[in-house]
Structure 1
Amino acid sequence: MSPSDPSSSPALIAKLTMEGAAWQALLNVMGEEERALVDGEADRLAPLNASKLSQLQTLSNLARTRHDDLLAAGHTPDHAGMDAWLTRHGQPEHLTRWRQLCDMEQQARALNQRIGTLIDMRLASTRQALNVLVHAATNQNGLYDQAGQSVAANKGKPLAAA
């Protein structure tokens, strides 16, 4: 597709449709990641991260192609360049698809922010639990010894002793 050629309308729609599908797939994976974090199911995160990285790579490749096409047409390889190209050559359905992509990008940014907040909360909770265990292990009346074995909480005299 050459963005300077308005006759490439079907190719542009096809590329925008592919990019939209890739954004939707990423949003789906990120939604699953958010649910796993909310539910405390950390074992689900590794496969989701692999899928998310794959989707991000796909999106990166599609965006790179779009940027190259915009540069070849004499526009900047960014949102402003795409808007300028669409104003000059695009059809209403192109602009609609482009706006949908921009909306999905904003949804992904917001979802990523929520996921980051959830990760921070889980990390703080884990650190707090570790601090309690470390403190207990280093105290005289600790719950665990340095080997991680549980110990009696009270090493004093038995109650029956005089």
Structure 2
Amino acid sequence: MSNPAQSLAQEQAALARLVEKLRQEQVLLSETASEGMTDLIGEKAAIVAEMTTLAGHRHQHLASLGYADDEGGMQQWMDEHGSDGDKAIWSALFDLAQDAKELNRLNGILIGKKLSINQSALTILQGKTNSGNFYGPDGQSSIKSVGRRLGVV
């Protein structure tokens, strides 16, 4: 019987690279400036494409052996035919996937916070604050203060 687990080590290596990129992304998102983010996004996309291809081949292999072409089918094949080494890699792959999922969730929160800060800054720059513009259409201050004006008796 052929082995659908033959590329699991490659999948694990690709996922480990993705986790590293997600950690790098988190560092960039935590900094004020985000230089390098565009390159990082491209690298992540390439890794995800590689992982998709590897998983697709594994799913096709499983289907050709009569198993479901998904992770459940792979788990069934592992239970019936997987070596101890294959099972260890499969388990490590799931652990890495959980790490990637959590990093991605946290990065999403950081992105949301950056987006909110940027939106607030744009709102202020566009003069759309809740307190109104500092200057009215006549060029005079629109901020009303209590008390008397300077220079007026």
Q: What range describes the TM-score normalised by the shorter chain of this pair?
A: 0.7 to 0.9
- TM-score by structure 2 length? 0.82
How far off is 1:88 after superposition?
1.1
- Where do residues 1-80 of structure 1 align in structure 2 (5 Å cutoff)? 5=1, 8=3, 12-13=5-6, 15-80=7-72
The answer for the alignment partner of 1:118 in structure 2 is 110
Unaligned runs of 5+ in 2: 143-149
Moved more, 23-32 or 129-138: 129-138
Distance 1:104 1:93 in 2: 16
The answer for the alignment partner of 2:101 in structure 1 is 109
How far off is 1:35 after superposition?
0.5
Note the alpha carbon deviations across 1:102-145, whole angstroms, 9 max, x for none.
11111111111111100000011111122222227972538xxx
Secondary structure at the residue paired with 1:139? coil
Cα RMSD of the aligned pairs, angstroms, is 2.7
**1:54 to 1:139, Cα distance in 2 relative to 1, 3 A:** same
- Where do residues 75-154 of structure 1 align in structure 2 (5 Å cutoff)? 75-135=67-127, 139-141=133-135
Whichever residue aligns with residue 34 of structure 2, its letter is: A
How far off is 1:40 after superposition?
2.4
- 4+ residue stretches of structure 1 with deviation over 3 A? 151-154, 159-162
- TM-score by structure 1 length? 0.77
The answer for the alignment partner of 2:146 in structure 1 is none
Secondary structure at the residue paired with 1:135? coil
How far off is 1:153 after superposition?
7.6
**Structure with more helix by fraction:** 1
Unaligned runs of 5+ in 1: 143-150
Secondary structure at the residue paired with 2:99? helix
How many residues in Structure 1 have an aligned counterpart in Structure 2? 144
Whichever residue aligns with residue 25 of structure 2, its letter is: E
